Structure 1
């Protein structure tokens, strides 16, 4: 099971689609500083267990327009985290780039069986300090995504740790020919959009559900990287 809210916001400055993830992450982060629990997790190195999608509606030209209203989906594997984020954004109201308008109630989501996940924002995987890019080992990419999901699950459920003998993904497809560069702290982080085929066993399904709530791979709460949609049975 995972949880999500839909935040309606007015964008106050024109923003390129590769720059706006950093701005959204910073907005949520600043809001969280007014909540003691979120403030503590902000400074911890542990997983934050939330991620967010791109503003909707999408802009065909790739630039989000000043003065226009958009909706941002924020997800988490932890219900109370979303409740705190929603309240914190409402308390902050606005910053340089966003003005809060409204947030939906927290919705719980569960798929009985997940067959595949597709990252609609680039998933970021680093190997020895360097980004994975097309042309490198796909097997290594698969292993890193699995290891990240397994660590997130075990962080969420320390009393029920999982260590699978094989990755929860049985197939992977890279959907872009060139890596996608997201702006972050004055530099660029390279990521890729991926299609992940999920195994049918119980624990693979549990890891897939955590990926839906917490995001695939790295930089989920900072950049909304690895935000997924799923196919399966509800």
Structure 2
């Protein structure tokens, strides 16, 4: 199961799309401080198990425009997490960038996933916090993606055995010509838009479901990195 919030927002400042993820993450984090449980775990180094999209519709010039209405999606594999975020945003309806106009919550039952496509850049770091770039080994990228998904799966389902050595990624394509720089705390984090082919077995499907609810790779709950759309078996 996947749980989603569809937020309709009024944008208060014109912003480039690669600089928009940080204000969205800051708004959600600020709102979460109104919840005692979220506030208690705010600085804990644990998976938060939610991820968010950028604004929709996109603009042809890449600049989201002040005064326009956009839609933002927040997802989680945990119903209580999404319920709490929903309540938090109803208490904190505005930030420097956004005014909440409407909010709709829904539950989705995922089908058999054949492909995942990242809508926001997936951020992967390797040795010494260096970002993975297309000049690096593609096998290393796959290993990092697999390991991250397995850790999130183990966090969600601690009593379920991780099947070491069994992959969920059948194939991978990098969609951008050069890495995309997402703004974060005065610096830029390099990421890539990825297209994944997913294995058909049950374990691979479980990991793909986790990725849908928690994001692919790193910074999903902070920057909405690795927010995916899925293609399903017809």
Task: Give the shorter-chain TM-score range.
Answer: over 0.9
SS of 1:182's partner is strand
Alpha-carbon distance in structure 2 between the residues aligned to 1:82 and 1:203: 24
Deviation of 1:165 after TM superposition, in Å, equals: 1.6
Alpha-carbon distance in structure 2 between the residues aligned to 1:161 and 1:31: 35
Alpha-carbon distance in structure 2 between the residues aligned to 1:230 and 1:111: 9
Q: Does 1:130 align with 2:130?
A: yes
Q: How many residues are aligned here?
A: 233
Aligned residue in 2 for 1:190: 190
**TM-score normalised by structure 1 residue count:** 0.97
* Contact preservation (8 Å) 1:142, 1:167: no
Deviation of 1:177 after TM superposition, in Å, equals: 1.3
SS of 1:112's partner is coil
* Contact preservation (8 Å) 2:2, 2:110: no
What CA RMSD, in Å, does the superposition of the two structures yield over aligned residues?
1.1
Deviation of 1:87 after TM superposition, in Å, equals: 1.1
SS of 1:131's partner is coil
SS of 1:70's partner is strand
Q: Does 1:15 align with 2:12?
A: no
Aligned residue in 1 for 2:33: 33
Aligned residue in 2 for 1:151: 151
Deviation of 1:2 after TM superposition, in Å, equals: 1.5
Alpha-carbon distance in structure 1 between the residues aligned to 2:3 and 2:41: 18
Alpha-carbon distance in structure 2 between the residues aligned to 1:170 and 1:12: 42
Aligned residue in 1 for 2:181: 181
Alpha-carbon distance in structure 2 between the residues aligned to 1:194 and 1:178: 12
Q: Deviations over 1:80-116 (max 9, x none)?
A: 11111111111011111111111102x2222231111
* Contact preservation (8 Å) 1:111, 1:233: no
